């Protein structure tokens, strides 16, 4: 005897082979369960046609037309997508409310003999669960923010942390946007607000909420989508890892990172128009002149000085946290000409010795272990991955490192033969 399909509400407790969204393509594009495939029982045009017949002519006629279209489309989906599925295949079917569309698809698949499930309440039930999830999830997260001015390679550093085994949440990646005035990525549309939340919901479900999650410090809005309020509220009070790099370093990085705009400068002009209310006409005209001259470095430096950096200063998430500066200053040509020369902040006469003494014992022990003749050198693998191994590329860079997991993250790939010097700021977490 062929088993009938089962109706369930809690779909997350079961591993389905395939999740099938049978709503129209436009409904699916607006939002869907992440990982679902779209097998519409009615196209957008067919759905509109049936709806018009229902409203203007006859309910019964609408059912006849709708049923014939549905049967034809389901048969087409089976032939194109599911002919190779074994008898043990377990699909989950859903539509808008768990009504006729998903029921029709589920009946046919179950009659074939497949172990078919229908989502009770459909997409609406799923969406309600997502909304409730974001009402409280913020308070459960242990967030460490990756902060820094535009061009300090926060996203790439975040990705490198992930490569080293840390938990990351790439909000810009989920939003398909780089989070700035020039952040729109050509050829890549942003998801709707609901789809962004679905992607975020799916990602958070994969993370261990008992451990730290590294997130790039963002404004509450990334392009056209908003970070859920509970997560944003938690980000505001979370400890930060701040990346600091000088203007030229950031400008050089941005020119490489936004090379598609340098190759297609027509993409920049519309974005400049959005700044006319904030910045002077003379400044914007000077930028247009630099674009014509293809002077990308000077243009980018001016962008940073006149727009991005002031915005960062006014909008940066601020925390009332104590910081200790551990300064290792380097001249631009120090490594190339005199690699043996380093600033010695461990010396009793150094102006940095008091700051060193205030560090937790674990950090002091770590520094002393890697000190060479009292001179401390650090190779931080995350930074190296971003800016390369050329020493002059990281001149005057400053890095904030959280106390928590510092040894694990830094020492994991650090060789005894250290060759990079950085400016460290260690953040003490208020607990």
Q: Looking at the annotation, which residues are catalytic?
A: 95
Please count the other Cβ atoms lying within 10 Å of the Cβ belonging to residue 314.
7
* Pure H helices in 151-258: 154-163, 171-175, 193-206, 229-236, 247-257
Nearest CA to 110 out of 74, 66, 145, 146 is that of 74
Give the count of beta carbons closer than 10 Å to the beta carbon of residue 252. 18
CA 143, chain centre distance (Å): 14
For residue 62, give the 3-state DSSP assignment.
helix
Distance CA 296, CA 238 (A): 35
CB 144 within 8 A of CB 213: yes
Alpha-carbon separation of residue 93 from 11, 82, 115 (angstroms): 10, 14, 11
3-class DSSP assignment, residue 336: helix
Residue 215 phi, psi dihedral angles, 5° rounding: -135, 140
The enclosing H or E element of 146 equals: strand 142-148
CA distance 203 to 195: 12
Cα separation, 8 vs 126, in Å, equals 12
Nearest to 169 by CA among 263, 234, 257: 234
Q: At 177, phi and psi to the nearest 5?
A: -160, 145
The DSSP letter of residue 96 is: S
Which residues are 33's β-sheet partners? none
């Amino acid at each position: 005897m062929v088993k009938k399909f089962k109706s369930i509400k809690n779909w997350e407790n079961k591993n389905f082979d395939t999740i099938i969204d049978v709503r129209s393509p436009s409904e699916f594009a607006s939002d869907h369960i992440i990982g679902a495939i779209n097998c519409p029982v009615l196209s957008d045009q067919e759905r509109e046609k049936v709806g018009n017949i229902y409203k203007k002519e006859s309910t019964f006629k609408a059912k006849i037309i709708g049923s014939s279209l549905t049967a034809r489309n389901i048969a087409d989906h089976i032939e194109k997508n599911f002919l190779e599925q074994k008898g043990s295949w377990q699909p989950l079917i859903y539509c808008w409310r768990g009504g006729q569309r998903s029921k029709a698809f589920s009946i046919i698949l179950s009659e074939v003999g497949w172990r078919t499930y229908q989502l009770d309440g459909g997409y609406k039930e799923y969406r309600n669960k997502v909304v409730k999830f974001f009402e409280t999830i913020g308070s459960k997260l242990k967030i460490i923010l990756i902060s820094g001015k535009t061009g300090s390679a926060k996203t790439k550093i975040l990705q490198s942390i992930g490569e080293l085994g840390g938990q990351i949440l790439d909000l810009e990646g989920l939003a398909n946007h780089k989070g700035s005035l020039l952040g729109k990525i050509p050829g890549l549309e942003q998801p709707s607000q609901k789809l962004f939340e679905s992607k975020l919901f799916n990602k958070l479900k994969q993370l261990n909420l008992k451990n730290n999650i590294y997130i790039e410090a963002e404004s509450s809005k990334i392009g056209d989508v908003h970070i859920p309020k509970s997560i944003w509220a938690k980000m505001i009070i979370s400890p930060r890892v701040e990346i600091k790099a000088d203007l030229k370093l950031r400008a050089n990085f941005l020119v490489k990172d936004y090379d598609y705009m340098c190759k297609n400068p027509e993409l920049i002009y519309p974005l400049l128009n959005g700044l006319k209310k904030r910045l002077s006409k003379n400044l914007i005209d000077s930028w247009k002149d630099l674009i014509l001259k293809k002077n990308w470095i000077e243009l980018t430096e001016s962008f940073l000085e006149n727009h991005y950096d002031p915005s960062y200063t006014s909008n940066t998430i601020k925390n009332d946290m104590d910081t200790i500066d551990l300064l290792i200053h380097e001249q631009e040509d120090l490594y190339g000409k005199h690699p043996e020369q380093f600033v010695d902040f461990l010396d009793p006469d150094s102006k940095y010795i008091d700051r060193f003494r205030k560090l937790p014992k674990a950090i002091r022990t770590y520094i002393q272990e890697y000190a060479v003749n009292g001179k401390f050198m650090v190779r931080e693998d995350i930074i190296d991955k971003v800016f390369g191994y050329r020493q002059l590329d990281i001149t005057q860079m400053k890095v904030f490192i959280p106390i928590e997991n510092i040894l694990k993250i830094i020492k994991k790939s650090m060789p005894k033969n250290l060759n990079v010097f950085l400016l460290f700021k260690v953040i003490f977490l208020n607990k």
